Chains A and B, each alone.
Chain A
Amino acid sequence: MPSLKDLKNRIASVKATQKITKAMKMVAAAKLRRAQEAAEAARPYSQRMAAVLANIAEAVGADDSAPRLMTGTGRDDTHLLVVCTAERGLCGGFNSQIARFARDHVRKLLAQGKTVKIICVGKKGFDILRREFASLIIDRVDLREIKKIGFENADRIGHKVIELFEKGEFDVCTLFYSEFKSVISQVPTAQQLIPASAGTVAAEADSASAIYEYEPDAAAILTDLIPRNISVQIFRALLENVAGEMGAKMSAMDNATRNAGEMINKLTLNYNRQRQAQITKELIEIISGAEAL
């Protein structure tokens, strides 16, 4: 049975923890709002990009001149996975969800006898995947120093991926990130970057009715456009990730604050009960002492 003093100390420490989690929750809420705004602001660009890409892809058609980034190498022996996670923990199952999703994917590919290479974006995913696939990780990108993710960061990753592709290091590239559905739900998602999956392009193609003049020519624009599109996709994924991370952190910290509150209630009850027991005991002692006289 803990003494009164022990209980008092524990209540104080839980209260301190509660204050911290409460503050973290509020910080996450503020950051979440900013992240959502950023994601919203980036949306028009990626939408236009998709529409334009669909337009041109149609114009160029299944021509042999279509860049290899779009058509792929024609094989799927080597897979490159770009796994985007957060830099920090304390956000519930956010990081482990993405990592687990990627891990299952890697296992499946390995079972099919494919070669797998991994690029980790973010520290947490690296920490988790390193345990099992240390030999497969070829690179990691650290974004910890960066306060606000800009397009340059995504562009750099995009360039890295394209460079590897041009060297023939892989055939298929898939991007793993967490799609931001709402504050309480983030869904790990896999998106194929290279070759640009036909599904996403064709879906937008119905708006393409105008006959365009191309300057210089369609193929040249396409070659310029596709690397840019890869960067845009990565940028979008990173923004979604930040929003998701903050959402997950907010609900995790909310839970922690609530748990701390419950614990304080329980401990306070216990403390009061013991205090009363002690008072009663002292009274009995006095009374029995008086009676003895």
Chain B
Amino acid sequence: MADSFNFELVSPERLLLSAQVTEVVIPATEGEMTVMANHAPTMTTVKPGVVTVRTADGKTDRFAVFGGFADILPTGCTLLAESAVHVDELDRTVLENRIDEARAELEGAIDEKKTRIEQFIAELTTLGEIVIPA
């Protein structure tokens, strides 16, 4: 069996998960990446998406995160999410509210900011499609 390491998922409001895991898939801005034990120290920003966690006892858990960043060390990994929920607790209305909010922000935004928000909306929409079966 693969080595396990300590993974922590924290949002500003609470500590969502702190457990021994063997594998974590993080939706990093430069593409998805899988973190396993003894990963090289890396710091990366995270885009909205699904974090998949495989705990040491073989269970798989999924969390939806809305941006943030991850701090990866050989001995452990910390994901600081702007906000995060367990996939089971996520429902369509919450996600739609967020998209609406972002749309409202889009009005009046210019250039770089506009593309950034558009990208954010696209990411949220994909997230919705993955997590919630239509």
Contact check, A215 vs B44: say whether CB atoms are below 8 A apart: yes
Residue A165 is within 8 A (CB to CB) of chain B in the complex: no
Give every chain B residue within 8 A of A49 (Cβ-Cβ): 80
| A42 touching B14 in the complex, CB below 8 Å, given contacts A49-B80, A210-B41, A215-B44 | yes
* In the complex, chain B residues whose CB is within 8 Å of the CB of A38: 13
Contacts of B120 in A (CB 8 A): none
Q: Is B78 interfacial (CB 8 A cutoff)?
A: yes
Q: Determine if A45 and B45 form an interchain contact, defined as CB atoms under 8 angstroms apart.
A: no
Within 8 A of B (CB), among A194-249: 210-216, 218, 220-221, 224-225, 228, 231-232, 235
Is A61 in the interface zone, CB < 8 Å from B?
no
A287 on the B face (CB < 8 A): no
Number of interface residues of B (CB under 8 A): 23
Contact B42 A151 (CB under 8 A): no
CB B100 to nearest CB in A, in angstroms, measures 14
* Alpha-carbon distance between A24 and B44 when the two chains are bound, in angstroms: 47
Taking the nearest CB of chain B, how far is it from the CB of A213, in angstroms?
5
- The reply to whether B80 and A45 contact each other, CB–CB distance below 8 Å, is yes
Q: Chain B residues with Cβ under 8 A from A48's Cβ?
A: 8, 10, 71, 78, 80
Residues of A within 8 A of B43 (CB): 52, 55-56, 212-215, 218, 221
Chain A residue contacts of B73, Cβ below 8 A: 210
- State whether A52 touches B69 (Cβ < 8 A): yes
Give complex CA distance A225, B44 in Å. 11
Contact of B28 among A56, A154, A215, A232 (CB under 8 A): A215
B30 within 8 A of A: yes
A150 at the interface (CB under 8 A from B): yes
Report B31-47 CB contacts with A as 1/0, cut-off 8 Å.
00000000011111100
Pair A42/B80 contact, Cβ less than 8 Å: no
Residues of B within 8 A of A74 (CB): none
**What is the CA–CA distance of A131 and B15 in the complex, to the nearest angstrom?**
42
Decide: B42 and A41 in contact? CB cutoff 8 A. no
Residues on the A chain within 8 Å of B69, using CB: 52, 221, 224-225
CA distance in complex: A214, B70 (Å): 10
A289 within 8 A of B: no
Q: Which residues of A contact B125 (CB under 8 A)?
A: none
Residue on A with the closest CB to B31?
Answer: A215
Can you spell out 13 A-B residue pairs with CB atoms less than 8 angstroms apart? A41-B13, A41-B15, A42-B14, A45-B80, A46-B12, A52-B80, A151-B12, A154-B12, A210-B41, A211-B41, A215-B30, A215-B45, A235-B12
Spell out B's residues near A (CB within 8 Å).
Answer: 8, 10-15, 28-30, 40-45, 69, 71, 73, 78, 80, 82-83
Q: Which residues of A contact B (CB under 8 A)?
A: 38, 41-42, 44-46, 48-49, 52, 55-56, 150-151, 154, 210-216, 218, 220-221, 224-225, 228, 231-232, 235
Q: A151-B11, A151-B82, A215-B43 are in contact. List 19 more A-B contacts (CB 8 A).
A: A38-B13, A41-B15, A45-B12, A45-B13, A45-B15, A45-B80, A48-B71, A48-B78, A55-B43, A151-B83, A154-B12, A210-B41, A211-B41, A213-B41, A213-B42, A214-B42, A214-B43, A215-B44, A232-B12
